[in-house]
């Protein structure tokens, strides 16, 4: 499964089977987490035992209490942290999909019960439930390209496909509160229009867009 297939097939899953993640897949996840931590100045952590992360009543009602493992999205706190968490965390999420695992970005959890290391100057932003889903999830209703890109007609194929992949990005409560622009010099801009976890969303969107754009550019060579 390549990155584009992973983007197309990955959906949020909130109910998990009682099955541990195999050691070889855990090692692959941890290797990727080490890579993105180095590149993104983050402190993401794979926690094999989710413990009481999803002990809140709402989390249990959503089914997240069944998740066997969790990725804690932690990093040095600054104004870019949330977007970096989204951008790099989604790379781990897409690897998980390629490994046959399921995930859910979860903003509803018991913060005091997450068994993660949060050093002074760091902040826990969000968590990602991970394991084997009871289902593969299902697609959500999405905005059209025209709703997130003013005057998309006439834009190059790499940009249009990037937008297509961006619209498949998971966003909090499916809000998709972002816009993407392309300047005359070829610079791509991503605008956060506000909302719950919208900066995390923007990072996830950028990750998807770049994967789509890179895919088309590689085909054009």
Q: Are residues 177 and 109 in the same domain?
A: no
Give the model's pLDDT for residue 56. 67
Q: What is the pLDDT of residues 61-108, one digit of tens each?
A: 567 889 999 999 999 999 999 999 999 999 999 999 999 999 999 998
pLDDT digits (tens, 9 = 90+) for 108-123: 888 888 999 999 999 9
Co-location of 168 and 120 in the same domain = no
In a domain, 139, yes or no: no
Domain endpoint, select from 96, 131, 166: 131
C-beta atoms surrounding 202 within 10 Å: 24
**Spatial distance between the Cα atoms of 197 and 81, rounded to a whole number of angstroms:** 12
63 and 119 in a single domain? The answer is yes
Q: How many CB atoms lie within 10 A of CB 61?
A: 11
Q: How far from chain centre, in Å, is Cα 211?
A: 13
Sign of CA dihedral 50, 52, 54, 60: positive
Number of Cβ atoms within 10 Å of the Cβ of 3: 20
Identify whether 136 is part of a domain: no
- Tens of pLDDT, residues 140-159: 999 999 999 988 889 999 99
């Amino acid at each position: 499964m390549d990155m584009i297939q992973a983007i197309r097939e990955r959906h949020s899953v909130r109910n998990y089977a009682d099955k541990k993640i195999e050691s070889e897949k855990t090692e692959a996840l941890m290797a990727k987490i080490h890579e993105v931590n180095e590149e993104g100045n983050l402190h993401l952590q794979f926690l094999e035992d989710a413990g009481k992360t999803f002990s809140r009543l709402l989390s249990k009602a959503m089914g997240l209490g069944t998740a066997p493992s969790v990725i804690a999205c932690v990093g040095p706190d600054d104004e870019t942290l949330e977007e970096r968490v989204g951008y790099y965390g989604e790379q781990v999420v897409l690897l998980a999909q390629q490994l046959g695992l399921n995930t859910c970005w979860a903003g509803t959890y018991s913060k005091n019960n997450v068994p993660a290391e949060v050093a002074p100057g760091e902040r826990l932003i969000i968590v990602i439930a991970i394991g084997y889903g009871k289902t593969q999830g299902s697609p959500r209703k999405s905005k059209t390209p025209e709703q997130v890109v003013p005057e998309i007609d006439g834009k190059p194929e790499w940009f249009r496909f990037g937008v297509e992949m961006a619209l498949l990005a998971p966003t909090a409560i499916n809000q998709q509160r972002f816009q993407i622009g392309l300047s005359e010099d070829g610079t791509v801009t991503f605008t956060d229009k506000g909302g719950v976890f919208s900066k995390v969303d923007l990072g996830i969107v950028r990750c998807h867009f770049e994967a789509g754009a890179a895919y088309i550019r590689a085909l054009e060579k």
